[in-house]
Amino acid sequence: MGFSSLLFIYIFLPANLVCYALFSDIRKKNICILLFSLLFYSWSSPMYLLLMVAMALINYAGALAIEKNRGTKKATLALVLDLTASLGILAYFKYLGFFVSIVQQFGGLTGVIPEIVLPVGISFYIFQLISYVVDVYRKSISADHNFARVLLYTSLFHQCIAGPIVRYKDVANDLRERKTDINSMNDGISRFCVGLAKKTLLANSCASILDMLIPESMSQIGSATVLAAWFGGLMYMLQIYLDFSAYSDMAIGLGKMTGFHYKENFNYPYTAVSVTDFWRRWHISLSTFFRDYVYIPLGGNRKGIARQVFNMLIVWALTGLWHGASYNFILWGIYFFVFLALEKLFLLKCFERMPMLVGKVIGRIYTFIVVFFGWIVFRFTDLSMAGTMVKSMFGLNGNKFTNLETNTMIMNNIIFLMICVAACTPLMKRVAEWLHRKSCTGRISYTYIYNGLNILIPIVLLFLSTIALIGNSYNPFIYFRF
């Protein structure tokens, strides 16, 4: 969701909602939102709109073929052909250049590495279509005979270019019948405004501070002070959560405005007490996709501990590769596999033997450290730069511990840091829930405060976010790498 996509939402969302509200028939509502979704995707990536439609058509036909031939070898053949087509298209656009570079590097071949532009959101909508076809094959859902509905599912502008990965069975009823009331609309607007503020006010500011402290330049990373390296790493850790979760917040909010109900994609992962717990809370739709469509079909934990660990290795290597065609992403996936395997084998049992409070404190510190260094590997596609960053953090580049510039930068942003940390915890959510409970007791003062804040906060956040978008041309969009 780049700047132009956010601009699209500002311009066309009100028009879409008005158009949508004019129709009572679900078919007309679907046509309305489908047209806006296709226009939205063509606004972001006009060259690849036909590719999205073609992929929706291939998987629509594949699902029908599976259902028609259910229980026969033809159904399995249809599934294999469908998956081959979907994964083949994804591999061509996302990984061909990477694979060619590997062949050249290790095979001694020469030639031009193809530069292929990655279609926006292709990883998300292809994974959605794969889940749809596999679920039809598993008899979890029936194939939809209406191509327009399948195309709408594929292209829903709320989440088609930045997630979360939505399964067809989770929105099947919404595609056929949905209603919106004033409460859903209010909740949707509030959630969207929170997500927009996370992105424009917090994540973008974290990125700006990070780039001033630790620019992606080998010489500048190597000369950064120890304190700057640690603070910069913390800024990236905050940025990537605030950026990723912001998209999900906006998607969930936009969905509620038009009657779609998407599942939560982030559950305050930085409060996790283990790496296993972290991955139950981080990018939930992606983690559960790999669990249900890769890990369990490989055998899951049903074939002994050795096979289970091997299955985990496959899953996490693929999880890393999904994030990008680069060695650092594969290493990042394997890095997390190592800690997840250790926890599966014995580490979680060690935490469980400790007194509850001690175990949770140690678990959170350990998880924070693991995730912190994981994001360093994630950030730098050049692994030598990641190594230089780690050396700077421990003063191994001959760099100073701190200097006036670093101290000034940190002191000027200490309040901002506290706000970002609070935004990564359920603190504000619990305050809102407490106010809601108080308002339900019948005390008028709490009712006025709760209702007033529900109206005021989204307006303020939207106003501040709009000012930030207009006044700041720096809008890094991390999700576009995927």
Q: Which of 145, 158, 283, 323 is catalytic?
A: 323
Place of tokens 């992105």: 199
| Alpha-carbon gap, residue 454 to 440, rounded angstroms | 15
Best CA proximity match to 299, nearest among 283, 316, 315:
315
Backbone angles phi, psi at 19, to 5 degrees: -60, -45
Instruction: Look at residue 426 and give its three-state secondary structure.
Output: coil
Q: CA-CA distances (angstroms) from residue 289 to 134, 140, 295?
A: 11, 15, 9
The reply to whether 261 belongs to the active site is no
Burial code (b: 16+ CB inside 10 Å, e: under 16) for 257-279 equals bbbbebeebbebbbebbbbebbb
Pick left, alpha or beta for residue 477 (phi over 0 → left; psi -120 to 50 → alpha; otherwise beta).
beta
- Output the DSSP codes for 285-342: HHHHHHIIIIIHHHTTTSS-HHHHHHHHHHHHHHHHHHH-SSHHHHHHHHHHHHHHHH
Tell me the helix, strand and coil percentages in the chain, rounded to 5: 75, 0, 25
- 154 within 8 A of 56, measured Cβ to Cβ: yes
Chain center to CA of 21: 30
| Alpha-carbon gap, residue 332 to 380, rounded angstroms | 10
Backbone angles phi, psi at 179, to 5 degrees: -135, 150
Q: CA-CA distances (angstroms) from residue 383 to 30, 69, 327, 331?
A: 46, 49, 8, 9
Residues serving a catalytic function are 323
